[in-house]
Structure 1
Amino acid sequence: MTPPLRLDGVTRRYGEVTALDDIGFELESGSLTGLLGPNGAGKSTLVNLAAGLRRADAGTVRLFGGDPRDAVNRVALGMTPQQTGLPDTLRVGEVVRFVAGHFPDPVPAGELLDRFGLAGLERRQTGGLSGGQKRRLVLALAFAGRPRLVLLDEPTTGLDVEGRRALWDAVREFHAGGGTVLLTTHYLDEIESLAQRVVVLAGGRIRADGDVDTVRGTVRRSRVTLRAATLPELPGVEHTERDGDRWTLHTADADQLVRDLVGSGAPFADLGVAQASLEDAFLTLTGADR
């Protein structure tokens, strides 16, 4: 079966900056993939190449087996870019119907607006919407054409908790119906809640690719937590966090650290050991903890 999206040996440069460097990437039909990376990692560039908004300097990009710059290959694609603009004088319903008119079997406007918590706003001018309502409308438009693949580039930025939950529910419903999702976000809880697969991108290259547990497992790091008034200097501690008498020690060898702690004779209580979190893995893989 032809994958919804495939990149082979893709490189994209902006002047002297290489945003993507010989990337190979494929989405399976019906998958929900989270794309993580720091600012400037190349996430938006990858999304824009997939949507046909940019051209690769080298390699090939295939959307449903064809060139994404060809409009016929984008009929089954929905997208929410990071930066969006809505015409202030148009009403919400007019915007929805305009976008829906580009698709053969769009979702009825009322149903779409209700799904994203915008019921009753069909006659409101977009210029009169709150920031969160505008963001919800832009998100709704990605699903207007009953897409098979949606590209969501940091979709919940600027949304309140209710808005984020509404989007999560919509994404889950879409995915449960067989839809394919590529989601970029800075919110790690979003990835852990939604994604089956996590791809970590940094410096234009893929640093890790797998399910959440697999990505966590790429980092040999644990957290040792305890309560103590003071602590002696212990070998093997990579990073220390303190909140009152609560200590969190990051280490590659928790067993040895605990042995050293006990051997030091220092008094402590409430000892706990946990494996690396997705945040730990993300920071290590992207070099953000250095």
Structure 2
Amino acid sequence: MEVVSNVLNWFSSNILQNPAFFVGLLVLIGYALLKKPAHDVFSGFVKATVGYMLLNVGAGGLVTTFRPILAALNYKFQIGAAVIDPYFGLAAANNKIAAEFPDFVGTATTALLIGFGINILLVALRKITKVRTLFITGHIMVQQAATVSLMVLFLVPQLRNAYGTAAIGIICGLYWAVSSNMTVEATQRLTGGGGFAIGHQQQFAIWFVDKVAGRFGKKEESLDNLKLPKFLSIFHDTVVASATLMLVFFGAILLILGPDIMSNKEVITSGTLFNPAK
């Protein structure tokens, strides 16, 4: 019994409470259930684990990179500026939540595991449930399980127990299974029978748009038939498109702020940022 307890404690400390490895484990299980080759299972695990680690590094980097710009905007125009991208505040949010709710990470990851199990069960019983999709977008699963967990822990203190964790897991599992299953038909039509569905943040929107789009447009006017100048074809690459937009957007801001402000260490290192509490 002690051996089992030690194994569970090790798994909880090193996997359940370590989102990067937990996401990797989910992808590994998902690929294995999809009967992918062993090398694909391994590469999927590595990509998911390293990707989440890079996400955390990137989130911290965004704070360091954008803070001088926000401080300079406040200094020159006396306006409060805040970045609304959730990844911008990811690192700070994680630290704050961990301090306020020490059991948060364990609750969220356990709920995630329960939810993933519910999703697998619903797919296994697809003849009854009609669910055909397994949600394996690991970082989104972590985000959604964490969001629901925080809402429950904060709003309903009575559920800060095993029952609350199980309830969160069931809610997440049902949402992942049903919402991704709603995108099957739309995705199949769009990809010409690609054999996959969407598991992200916008499943209900995809389903809704698929139902109403035919009333407002024509198939002949689809994106595939859109004629653009040849030089714009470079923007089919999302990396090129994103980098170009960021260059234009932030380049314009930096030009407006000017070198005098952006080179002033007192402004960019100690400027007052927007405080939503005020």
TM-score scaled by structure 1?
0.21
- Which one has a larger percent helix, Structure 1 or Structure 2? 2
Q: Choose between structure 1 and 2: higher strand proportion.
A: 1
Q: More relative contact order in 1 or in 2 (CA 8 Å, sep 6+)?
A: 2
